[in-house]
C-alpha cells in the first residue's frame, strides 16, 4: 500500500488542478488586454478534517486563481435626439463627413438633430 501524497490523492487531481490554475495565470499574463505588472496568484488549499478518533480524515483540495482584470476600454460618443425624440449616439461626429471615404456615392449625410431644451 502506497502512502498518500499530493501526487496520489484523488488519483493526482491536486496536481492536475494546480497545473490548470498555473495555465490560467500564464494565459492571463500573456493577454495584452491586462496590465503586465499586476501579480497573479495561484493558491492551493488542502484541508484535512479528521474524525473524533483521529484514525481517518476527509481531505478536500481547492485552487483559487487571482488574475489581473482586463484593461478599461474607452470611446467618445456624440449624443442627441432624433426627429422623433429618441436618443441616439454616434462614435464619430455626425456633423463631419468622413474624411477618407473612397466611394463618395456611398456617403450618407449624417442625421443632425437640433437638441431640445430639457426643463429641470
**Is 2 or 43 the better-scoring residue by pLDDT?**
43
Instruction: Decide if 1 is inside a domain.
Output: no
Domain that holds residue 96: 75-120
Q: Provide the domain count of the chain.
A: 2
119: confidence class by pLDDT, cuts 50, 70, 90: low
* Closest alpha carbon to 92 in 79, 81, 101: 79
Q: What is the pLDDT of residue 75?
A: 83
Interatomic CA distance for residues 84 and 108, integer angstroms: 20
Specify whether 21 is located in the same domain as 54: yes
Over residues 14-29, the mean pLDDT reads 96
* Closest alpha carbon to 66 in 11, 21, 19: 21
For the chain, what percent of residues have pLDDT higher than 70?
79
Specify whether 30 is located in the same domain as 56: yes
Residue whose cell numbers read 495561484: 42
**Is 54 or 73 the better-scoring residue by pLDDT?**
54
Amino acid at each position: 500500500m502506497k502512502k498518500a501524497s499530493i501526487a496520489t490523492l484523488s488519483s493526482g487531481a491536486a496536481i492536475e488542478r494546480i497545473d490548470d490554475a498555473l495555465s490560467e495565470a500564464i494565459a492571463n499574463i500573456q493577454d495584452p488586454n491586462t496590465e503586465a505588472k499586476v501579480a497573479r496568484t495561484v493558491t492551493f488549499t488542502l484541508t484535512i478534517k479528521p474524525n473524533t478518533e483521529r484514525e481517518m480524515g476527509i481531505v478536500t483540495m481547492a485552487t483559487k486563481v487571482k488574475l489581473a482584470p482586463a484593461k478599461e476600454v474607452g470611446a467618445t460618443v456624440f449624443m442627441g435626439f432624433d426627429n422623433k425624440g429618441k436618443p441616439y449616439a454616434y462614435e464619430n461626429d455626425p456633423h463631419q463627413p468622413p474624411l477618407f471615404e473612397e466611394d463618395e456615392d456611398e456617403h450618407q449625410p449624417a442625421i443632425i438633430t437640433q437638441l431640445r431644451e430639457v426643463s429641470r
